[in-house]
Structure 1
Amino acid sequence: MSTPVKDNPAKSRFELDVNGLTVFANYRRNGSTLYIPYVEAPPSLRGTGAAGRLMEGVMAIARAEGLTVVPICSYAANWVHRHREHHDLLGR
């Protein structure tokens, strides 16, 4: 069972625990803009939707905090492109 996405400010990343493994998205905050340069899932979780669940949580946090998101990493950029319901959060 997975837990909600959590912010780990000490590591500047959002994390999702999935059965003891961590999926994460590194970030950098600049004012009200959240830059996401890297998303990583352990090899055994790739293709399971874990990174997508992480991104869903990241976008929910951004929305709740009034942030805009700049997905730099190709995975994050492609994920946001496929999920139009989050396009209003995109920054430059």
Structure 2
Amino acid sequence: MSTIDIQHNEERQRFEALVDNQLCVLEYVRDGNTVSMNHVRVPEAVGGRGIAGEITRYALDWARDKGLRVVANCPYVARWIERHPEYEQLLT
């Protein structure tokens, strides 16, 4: 369960969380049944709290719920999936 409030901003194709007035995001591009997760950004001021991991899990759960395939273009997302093999089946 997430300890931060994560919002899906479909118009901007990203997942967002405002933590201590710092915007944390996972940016993606959806193309049909594929979603390319391209970048996770957590400002240094709120780093080290596991925020990137929470946003990544949230985004991957969304992809799973929608039946989407995932391209992990972001090195952080790719490493996170390696550490959580239950998400590997989402990869293209």
Q: Please, what TM-score do these two structures have when normalized by structure 1?
A: 0.88
Out of 82-91 and 18-27, give the one that drifted further. Answer: 18-27
Superposition CA RMSD, Å: 1.4
Cα distance per residue 1:8-65 (max 9 Å; x no partner): 1222211123233221111101111110111100111221100000011011111111
3-state secondary structure, aligned to 2:38 = strand
Out of 10-19 and 33-42, give the one that drifted further. Answer: 10-19
Unaligned runs of 5+ in 2: none
Q: Which runs of 4+ in 1 moved over 6 A?
A: none
Q: Is the 8 A contact 2:20 2:46 kept in 1?
A: no
User: 1:81 aligns to what?
Assistant: 82
Q: Is the 8 A contact 1:2 1:19 kept in 2?
A: no
User: 1:31 aligns to what?
Assistant: 32
Q: Is the 8 A contact 1:39 1:73 kept in 2?
A: yes
In 2, the alpha carbon distance for the partners of 1:33 and 1:9 equals 15
Alignment: residue pair count: 90
Give the percent of matched residue pairs that are identical in Structure 1 and Structure 2: 33
Out of 13-22 and 30-39, give the one that drifted further. Answer: 13-22
Unaligned runs of 5+ in 1: none
